Amino acid sequence: MFATSVEQLLTPVLRDRLARSHPRARRLLSALALSGGYVVLYLVLDRISFLRALHGIDVTPWNPPPGLTLLLLLVKGLSYTPATVLAALLSSQILPLVNVPPLTGLAAALVIGLGYAAAAGVLRSVLRIDIRLRRARDLVLLMVVVTAAAGFVSVGFVAIYALSGIIGWSDAPEAGFQLWIGDAVGAVVLAPLLLVARDHLQSRRLTAWRWSWRGTLETAAQLASIGASLVIVFGIAQDRYSFQLFYLLFLPVVWIAARRGLGGASWAVLAVQIGLIAALDFQDKSADTIRSFQLLMFAVAATGLLLGAAVSERHRVARALLESQGRLAAILDTARDGVLTIDQRGRVESVNPAVEALFALPADVLTGCHVGDLLPGAYALERLTSTSGVASRHELDIRRADGTLLPVELTVGTFGEPGGEHYTLVLRDIALRRRAEATARAHQSELAHVSRLSLAGEMASALAHELNQPLTAIAAYGRGCLRLLRQPAPEPLLLREGLEQLVGQAERAGDIISRLREFVSSGTTQRRLVAVGTLIESAVALARIEAAQNGIDVRVRIEPNLPPVPADRIQIEQVLLNLLRNGMEAILGADVADRVLTVEAARTSGGAVEIAVADSGPGVGAELAAQLFEPFVTTKPLGMGLGLAISRSIVEAHQGRLRFVRRDGTGAVFAFELPAHEEVDDWA
């Protein structure tokens, strides 16, 4: 702050030029200004406290300058040590009533400056105290280290003065003791006050200070209590009783510390100190008496400051707690997810507004409910508490107050000590998500249906030929029978055989039609447990028609004892048929000699069922392989390029995956996995 004030003396132009052109010079100027200000203040404080100086040298029972020194070194750092040495040197040359040789003065000044610099260094770097003294620990360490430093400084100082003959060796213990007390009390009274005041000044800008009648009255009463105590101790009571009544001075200090914390306590301690010194000086007490009172003053200061620090710390913790509660409340109030906490027995302790909205019940009804009243029966308390953790999410339906069911996702968390746990239940409304999923499923199944129609269209020629075969046979048998009947004596055995064949062929045609209709017409998805063999056989039956016409051999290998898979039969048949037709076209396009399609079903190591379709075609090029599953990518002149894309989305809707297996040389393999029945999670 000195730097700022000195800088303000410069004209704005000069200041600006300085700042821009010589940043280092500017820093040096600030440091010099600060040091100068410190030295002046040091000398002023030293002069004021130059009471009952022992033998005319600067050893008094009340010596506040070390407090100032500590402030400078703690706040600005040890680089200001030279300034502290200089201040002590000047003080030894200006103040004392006896002549102190410059060398002796310098030696003593070095002891003082270095001693307190060491104290500041230990506090900052070794003990790492927070110089804002926000914790009681910081204050205790400050007082202990300062008192110790004052002891060392006193011993050194007195030894140097005795060595140089300014005081006699016999006076040395008394001088040392007086200096110790003076420095220790001075520093303990002043240093915390200055550090807290600095912190206060810095944070003042953030917190608005409000004036009130009550506050003003209390301040006045507290100041009056200090005054009154001083008057009682030193005014009313006579010499003899001053000592016994001294303890009255604890009362206002304790009161103020309890009410205002460390900030108030440090001011109160300073007020008592000044009053004490003023009274003793006024009564013209001896140095010895003042020393005794200063020992008591040390006790007042320590007690008041420690109490104040404890109170401040508690206030701060309470404020932080309040703040964090406020933050939590704000988060919970605005959260879209419902958050409720329950105790160990499942009783609801708190709910946020989102929970009220989820259940359509007010908070006062919800709190006190048992968790079993709110969640479906399957969610017993033991089950909830055993599955806590973000990883485990449950989807369930809750019943709202109006009786409707609402799908939610539940996550359980734990807090509290072991044995006294509480649980947080986070409920997320997933009705929208469910709807979106249902829409997506509907779209997917619509698309699959369209693609099935187009697949059937592509197979139309093969199917028509296949249908024509039984129709041709039927017509031939029918005409043949008619012809037999026109003969004079038709042969009954021949007639019967013709009719039997005719009926058999009509049934064959019916089978083809109904299989095709089943495949084409279904637009809705129905998932049931299906045997893998059934799935494969019915798809292969359709594919075989075309395969046979093209001289392609379709081989099926199904591992025995495969578990059933939960699947939409028609859709999985569609996937298989798609793969089979792709394989067929690959074989025909390449005109290979070996015309074989192989369908294999086996259990994977993961327990799922894998169905693979392999062809003996030329395989898939790397370029095409990369975009096989992209929609509208096709090698067929009439293809839409949707077959594999839709097949994959069907398989994924079945929680499986469809992949292309690269094979060297011969053919391509497409394989898809379907989770087996026992591993599908039907927990909810």
Partner 1 sequence: MTGHRTVFVVDDDEAVRRALTFLLHTTGHAVEAFPSAAAFLAGYNPERRGCVLLDVRMPHMTGLELQQELNARGWSIPAIFITGHGTVPIAIAAMKAGAFDFIEKPLRDEALLESVERALGWDESAREERLELAVLRTRAALLTPREREVMDLAATGEPNKAIARRLGISFRTVELHRSHIIEKMQARTVSELIRMSILLQQDKG
Positions touching partner 1 (CB under 8 A) are 461, 464-465, 468-477, 479-481, 483-484, 494, 497-498, 501, 504-505, 508, 548-551
Neighbours of 288 (CB within 10 A): 11
> Least distance to partner 1 from the beta carbon of 494, Å?
8
Question: CB-wise, 405 or 464, nearer to partner 1?
Answer: 464
CA-CA distance, 354 to 360, in Å (whole number)? Answer: 9
Nearest to partner 1 of 439, 468 (CB atom): 468
How near is the Cβ of 589 to partner 1 at its closest, in Å?
Answer: 17
Let me know: does 153 contact 112? Beta carbons within 8 Å: yes
Q: Cβ of residue 673: shortest distance to partner 1, in angstroms?
A: 34
For residue 453, the minimal CB distance to partner 1 (Å) is: 19
Q: How far is the CB of 483 from partner 1 (least distance, A)?
A: 4
C-alpha 653: how far from chain center: 34
Query: Considering beta carbons, is residue 162 or 473 the nearer one to partner 1?
Result: 473
Torsion angle defined by CA atoms of residues 43, 46, 47 and 50, in that order, rounded to the nearest 10 degrees: -160
Residue 397 C-beta: closest distance to partner 1, Å: 54
Residue type, 135: R
475 Cβ contact partners less than 8 Å away, ≥ 6 residues apart: none
The tokens for 34 are 């600060």
Compare residues 72 and 584 and give the one whose CB is closer to partner 1. Answer: 584
Cα separation, 162 vs 169, whole angstroms: 6
Kind and range of the H or E run holding 41: helix 23-48
The least CB distance from residue 489 to partner 1, in Å, is 13
Cα within 13 Å of Cα(178), Cβ side: 23
Q: Which residue, 500 or 518, has its beta carbon nearer to partner 1?
A: 500
CA gap 355, 366 in Å, rounded: 9
Nearer to partner 1, 477 or 672 (CB): 477
250-276 in b/e form (b: 16+ CB < 10 A) is bebbbbbbeebbbbbbbbbbbbbbbbb
Task: Count other Cβ atoms within 10 Å, centred on residue 151.
Answer: 17
Instruction: Give the residue with the Cβ less far from partner 1, 11 or 487.
Output: 487
Dihedral through CA 408, CA 411, CA 417, CA 421, nearest 10?
Answer: 40
CB distance 286 to 51 below 8 Å: no
Collapsing DSSP to helix, strand or coil, 344 comes out as: coil
Q: Which is nearer to partner 1, 400 or 508 (CB)?
A: 508
Residue 90, token pair as written in the block: 């000047």
Q: Which is nearer to partner 1, 48 or 503 (CB)?
A: 503
- Give the Cα separation of 387 and 412 in Å (integer): 7
Burial degree of 478 (CB within 10 A; 0-12, 13-18, 19+): middle
353: Cβ–Cβ under 8 A, 6 or more apart, which residues?
332, 333, 363
Cβ–Cβ under 8 Å, residues 233 and 245: yes
Q: Is 283 or 550 the residue whose CB approaches partner 1 more closely?
A: 550
How far apart are CB 477 and partner 1 at their closest, in Å?
A: 5
DSSP 8-class letter at 97: S
Query: Helix or strand or coil: residue 338?
Result: strand
- Give the residue with the Cβ less far from partner 1, 459 or 532: 459
Question: Residue 61 is encoded by which pair of tokens?
Answer: 């029972």
Phi and psi at residue 179, to the nearest 5°: -65, -40
CA-CA distance, 600 to 578, in Å (whole number)? 15
The whole-angstrom separation of Cα 420 and Cα 310 is: 30
Smallest separation, CB 470 to partner 1 (Å): 6
Q: Which is nearer to partner 1, 187 or 481 (CB)?
A: 481
Q: How far is the CB of 451 from partner 1 (least distance, A)?
A: 22
Least distance (Å) between residue 541 CB and partner 1:
16
The residue to which tokens 């095709």 are assigned: 516
List the structure tokens of 623. Answer: 């370029």
Minimum gap (Å) between residue 471 Cβ and partner 1: 4
Instruction: Rank residues 206 and 493 by Cβ distance to partner 1 and give the closer one.
Output: 493
Nearer to partner 1 (CB atom), residue 28 or residue 494: 494
For the chain, what is the radius of gyration of the CA atoms?
49
Bridge partners (DSSP) of residue 589 are: none
Question: In angstroms, what is the minimal distance from the CB of 496 to partner 1?
Answer: 12
**Shortest distance (Å) from residue 530 CB to partner 1:** 31
